[in-house]
Structure 1
Amino acid sequence: MSDEKESVVGASLISEDRNGVRTLTLHRPQRKNAIDRALWVALRDALDAAGHDPAVRVLVITGAGGAFCSGADIAEPDPTHPVDKMRRLTDVALLLHELPIPTIAKVNGVAVGAGWNLALGCDLVVATPESRFSQIFARRGLSVDLGGSWLLPKLVGLQQAKRLALLTEMIDAEQARALNLVTWVVPESEVDEFVLELAARLVAGPPVALAQTKALLNEGADRTLRDALASEARAQAVNFATADAAEAFAAFAEKRDPEFTGRWSVSGRAVPL
């Protein structure tokens, strides 16, 4: 049975729940979903809520009206002090990066500036052949933000990151995929179904183990091998204390698909490595 619910978080963000998947749709199509003050606040609150809702197993971020996001809306007047403006961006970037659930960016149309870095902050990026990307900041007299200075070098290396940020080139989806900035390129007519199936696969996974794995991969990029091994050992101890580990081994022995819940369950039964 489908558990479906839709709500509007402010006038410019639509939240929809369906079978453990929460989809956040940036909804300012008249501005190609450029993010103004109200949308930054709504997005921050929605990410925080998703991270604290046990019913949400996967988060999808997308845009309305044939565009993903054209970045921060610098055309809208905002009297907020620049420090407070950047704090809003910082909150969104950190909340997205640290969400304990898998995240998917469904990129339709343009994703530029902070809009592109919002997509790059997700764990997986699905684009269409019509998608276009640019680190447009320098054209506006600005430097990279929303985590781009950290994300880009890790994803493409320092030299290619400088190329994208300094030259502000607009690249297409295939170029982005070649640079490891897009995970899949899917025809526009198939992208909705593709993301639904991808999200369903993630929902079916063990939530605690996926959260541990995501955190380990995020942290491992900045750690020594010794640090990473210590973190992995701690994470496995958490996994062994869930019902999912025993369920996985039982399902394997019984030749059936496991049913993962993330439920805490400590017993005397040993789980083999």
Structure 2
Amino acid sequence: MEKSSPEKLILVTHEAGGIACITINRPHSLNSLTKSMLTDLARIFKSLDADDSVRVIILTGSGRSFCSGIDLTAAEDVFKGDFRDMEIDPVFQMEQCRKPIIGAVAGFAVTGGFEISLACDILVASKDAKFLDTHARFGIFPSWGLSQKLSRIIGPSRAREVSLTATPINAEQAERWGLVNYVVDRSELLNKARQIAEAIIKNNQDLVLRYKAVINDGFKHDLTRALALEKERAHEYYDGMGKDYFKKMQEFIAGRNTSKPSSKL
């Protein structure tokens, strides 16, 4: 693996096939985030989104924790001044990222770390993973989407209990409630994330990006509007492909058993 980021606390590695792996690397503080780390994380996601060689992003943490949220000793520095600047907001940049993001969560994902995990498209958790919302405990108002996203995933009653009591969700519960896609041994966490990434990479890259966008965008609307959005995007897609598209598709289907899928389809 080639380390492509000079940052010590946020590491980036580029792997074969178009996988980029981001590691939050402050294990002695359970990967708590300082202002400079938030800025670096946001800029890295924006940079990887613009990098045509990157097709899937894996986000993980080093050591015993995925991310324990904002470093409370630096909270004043984080929340004052330009904290509303979307350019340096990692969750906003993750939500804007066109590339699929796979979160590989081991240990704790606490408050801001929980919100960062919710900004991933697919989550894999180790058996010792715990998701914990401590906003109410410390008197910090959520601003990265936890109050709205969690209820849409696990239901409002469960979300209220989790957030108002600051009770952790363990890995088994998270899988049962649909919060995570898979629970695996810690030793297999990154392998499972890479397996998912490799399965994505095998598909048509242009449609992967469009498919992620229509799922995420449609989820913000009621079903009627979401179905209309799918129709709109489908018409845009086929109109942009030109007259030869269906001919190419037929040629691909005819030769599918003897040739690899074309990235142009």
Q: TM-score, normalised by structure 1?
A: 0.86
Superposed counterparts of 1:154-233, under 5 Å: 154-233=152-231
Q: CA deviation at 1:141?
A: 1.6
1:8 equivalent in alignment to 2:19: no
Q: Provide closer, same or farther for how the CA distance between residues 260 and 149 of structure 1 changes in structure 2, counting only shifts above 3 A.
A: farther
Q: CA deviation at 1:101?
A: 1.2
Structure 1: unaligned runs, 5 residues or longer: 266-273
Deviations 1:116-152 (A, max 9, x none): 1111110100001111110111221212232112211
Over the aligned positions, Cα root-mean-square deviation in angstroms equals: 2.4
Q: Provide closer, same or farther for how the CA distance between residues 121 and 201 of structure 1 changes in structure 2, counting only shifts above 3 A.
A: same
Distance (whole Å) between structure 1 residues aligned to residue 245 and residue 159 of structure 2:
40
Q: CA deviation at 1:230?
A: 3.2
Deviations 1:36-64 (A, max 9, x none): 01100000100110111111100110001
Out of 137, 140, 145, the position equivalent to 1:139 is: 137
Provide the residue aligned with 1:271 in structure 2: none
Moved more, 16-25 or 83-92: 83-92
- Secondary structure, aligned partner of 1:222: coil
Distance (whole Å) between structure 2 residues aligned to residue 230 and residue 182 of structure 1:
28
Provide the residue aligned with 1:268 in structure 2: none
Contact 1:135–1:144, Cα closer than 8 Å, also in 2: no
Q: CA deviation at 1:260?
A: 4.4
Q: Which amino acid is 2:141 matched to?
A: S
Moved more, 245-254 or 120-129: 245-254
Q: Provide closer, same or farther for how the CA distance between residues 222 and 90 of structure 1 changes in structure 2, counting only shifts above 3 A.
A: farther
Moved more, 214-223 or 26-35: 214-223
Q: Which amino acid is 1:16 matched to?
A: T
Provide the residue aligned with 2:253 in structure 1: 252
- Secondary structure, aligned partner of 1:10: coil
- Secondary structure, aligned partner of 1:70: coil
